[in-house]
Structure 1
């Protein structure tokens, strides 16, 4: 199960990053593409179904992907549009979410400890649903660095966790608060995906 969760985690981060960086001047077309490429999670009484868009598997051997997932005891259906639907028990889904949560916590801890790449970051805290993160930083160092990429990573991870937990794609939201270590005051805030959409429209 751990290998399956790691694969989902990696696929989703790449997928969300690609969606965030994609530009399309035709808004209606972009909206339709976003709908077709969204992750859909349905929670039934006994089972959970997760449908992943075909775009997440581009360049991969789809038969191998299916075989690897089914080794975990998860039923896979290949849909006409190329998407895959994973059907698992509620217990299996709960286990998956627990492991995914552990993966995100590992990312947070690695980011805090990586002083070579993230010199300004002193601490990172988060809520249980990963809808909010607080980055405690040395403000001057942060503003003269590329440490904002850490916030992007946290935003993508939080959105991913919410999606797999059944939150509709249009309702996913992650707030990153930036606090100055010296004053303990918040000096900025980033909201995903809102701020990404604003950047694209500018």
Structure 2
């Protein structure tokens, strides 16, 4: 800046600051656009749920889409991904995404804005994939656990509610239509839902849409 007057240096610095702020704004716009595109992709998976065909599905992709869809609800909740190397499963991606979104939504609601949400995938054996969703909420009482999959059941604390318009009864129905199982274990400070599904090629012919 040598050779410039004080006024010229001030004007140049102001112009540089303007360019910096414009660049930051453009980066923010690009970042927001990417987030919006991700949200649109997630929403499209639900829109096509009623007209999709059975395909090979990667569970991690569906979990990521559901996490993106619920990102605005996380507040101070820390999401932890513990994804293992798992094979694909055969099924309807949109329906399975509804399962993940419902379970994740319930877990987020349980923690009331703070805690740790752990999403893990594993292959317990050569024929199955397992998804475990764990929250650090208050837990579910043994009496409530016995009724947790009953239609329209909620606890008075609101621990078990509907996610994206689906109850846990319908979540279980979707899992069972994919020849899978869903289990829940809970204690004070920790609740885990485990969904186990057959890998591609195992009992795939038995999976049918329920219209």
TM-score over 0.5 for the pair: no
The structure number with the bigger radius of gyration is: 2
More helix, by proportion: 1
Report the TM-score, using the length of structure 2 for normalisation. 0.31
Report the TM-score, using the length of structure 1 for normalisation. 0.32
